[in-house]
Amino acid sequence: MKTIENEVMDVSDSLERAGVSFKGQRVLVTGGAGFLGSWVCDVLVRQGAAVTCIDNLTSGQLGNIEHLIKGEGFTYLNHDISEPIYFDSKFDTVFHMASRASPFEFAEHPIQILKANTLGIWVALGVAKEHGARFFYTSTSEVYGNPDPQFVPTPETYFGNVNSVGPRGCYDEAKRAGEAFVTAYNTQHGLDTRMVRIFNTYGPRMRSDDIYGRVVPRFIEQALKGKPITIFGDGNQTRSFTYITDQVEGILKLAGVEGLQNPVVNIGNNVEISVLQLAEAVISLTDSKSELSFHPLPIDDPDRRCPDISRAKELLGWKPKVGLEDGLRRFIEYMR
């Protein structure tokens, strides 16, 4: 079994072979104690960047970055990025990754989610503007809403089908607003900006608790404990699952490649499977006796999720390397 340290090393080495390195840069990462943010911090530190991480730990976890705090090249600040913050030292790149992202949190924390992607991105963009830094925003496939079938796989040119007053509106529309903020700073101030639309990502450090639990860690935890696998709807809705190392490599390629003009790029696995197929795969790989338990489908839950990754291949030479079965095996061993 590969450790997280081994996998971080693999991503760093792959980026350097592709000519992408953050060595010697000063980098700010908001939401750096989160699942995805902590992996990005790991790889940046591994490459020799000096990383400042901002996180107020509302959904991030200090355990994700404790090993970095104890080492060199990393500074942690407990701060809510929706509140102003100022720095004396200059940054070369700013990553805005701070936001709650679980559908289970949309009803409990809608205002925090909206603030992170409006006030928070405004603060982070202000830091980047002041320092003349490159700005990177982690947007989401949720900006597409529930796409028309003819737009699956979904290209970046699809404008979306989003319910702004539905239960997911706080996240979907906040991310769409965040993209508009980034575009405005690029247009008005000439800021070097990049945006990624992330599709379902899974892997070590992803939380599985009931408040935050996303579908992959929730299924694995239920299977390992022999509990019923909770499926919403009939399970025929589809998703495309990206292993964490593929996602981080795509993100850092998009952030590090020179000469891009405010691109927005899908980073995700283009293999589409149903939630029911995912549950069956998890049960098989864990050798579990869990049975399936069906529950009502949440309002506005997307029917399909599958990215068109042509732009990522063209601009970045990126495509996913880790197949679902391999990725699930790695994550299962981690969760054991």
- Mean pLDDT to the nearest integer, 107-122: 95
| DSSP letter (8 states) at residue 195 | E
Q: How many angstroms separate the CA atoms of 18 and 14, rounded? A: 6
**DSSP per residue over 232-284, as a string?**
ETTS--EE--EEHHHHHHHHHHHHH-TT--S-EEEES----EEHHHHHHHHHH
Residue 216 within any structural domain of the chain: no
**CATH number of 156's domain:** 3.40.50.720
- pLDDT(211) > 60: no
**Per-residue pLDDT for 207 more than 60?**
yes
Contact 38, 80 (CB under 8 A): no
- On the question of pLDDT at 212 being above 70, the answer is no
d(CA 47, CA 249) in angstroms, rounded, equals: 13
Question: What gap in Å lies between CA 82 and CA 278, rounded to an integer?
Answer: 36
pLDDT at site 213: 64
What pLDDT was estimated at residue 1? 76
* Length of the chain in terms of residues written: 336
Read off the pLDDT of each residue in 140-158 and give the average, rounded to a whole number.
Answer: 96
Averaged pLDDT, 266-292: 98
Q: Is it true that the peptide bond before 167 is cis, omega within 30 degrees of 0? A: no
What is the residue-averaged pLDDT of the chain? Answer: 96
Label residue 210 by pLDDT band (50, 70, 90).
Answer: low
The structure tokens listed for 154 are: 């979904």
Tell me the C-alpha distance between 244 and 48, whole Å.
Answer: 21
Please give the average per-residue pLDDT across 29-47, as a whole number.
98
- Identify the band that residue 329 occupies on the pLDDT scale cut at 50, 70 and 90: very high
CA-wise closest residue to 114 among 95, 94, 98, 138: 98
pLDDT band of 102, cuts 50, 70, 90: confident
Query: What is the average per-residue pLDDT within 19-31?
Result: 98
Q: What is the mean pLDDT of residues 231-245?
A: 97
Decide: residue 19, CB within 10 A, 0-12 exposed, 13-18 middle, 19+ buried: exposed
Residue 159 lies in a domain: yes
Say yes or no to pLDDT of 89 above 90. Answer: no
pLDDT at 11: 98
Q: Is residue 334 part of a domain?
A: no
Phi, psi of 195 (to 5 degrees): -135, 135
Q: Which among 137, 144, 158, 171 is annotated as catalytic? A: 171
Give dist(CA 252, CA 262) in Å, integer.
15
**185 annotated active-site:** no
Single out the residue of 101, 158, 134, 104 nearest to residue 29, CA to CA: 134
Asked whether residue 235 is domain-assigned, the answer is no
Per-residue model confidence (pLDDT) at position 30? 98
| Structural domain contains residue 285 | no
Mean pLDDT on 110-120: 96
Residue in this structure with the two tokens 């709650």, named with its chain if needed? 100
With a cut of 70, say whether residue 307 has pLDDT above it: yes
Q: How many domains does the structure of the chain reveal?
A: 1
Q: Is the pLDDT of residue 141 over 80?
A: yes
Residue 295 lies in a domain: no
CA distance 244 to 249: 9
Q: Is the dihedral of CA 120, 307, 20, 191 positive or negative?
A: negative
Tell me whether residue 299 is in a domain: no
- For the segment 142-152, the average pLDDT, to the nearest whole number, is 95
Residue with tokens 């908001």: 30
In a domain, 335, yes or no: no
Q: What range defines the domain where residue 167 resides? A: 4-205+241-270+306-321
Q: What is the C-alpha to C-alpha distance for residues 198 and 142, in angstroms, rounded to an integer?
A: 9
Distances (CA, A) of 329 to 64, 185, 262, 281, 323: 21, 42, 36, 10, 10
- Return the structure tokens found at 332: 């299962």
Residue 2 confidence (pLDDT): 86
Q: SS3 for 80?
A: coil
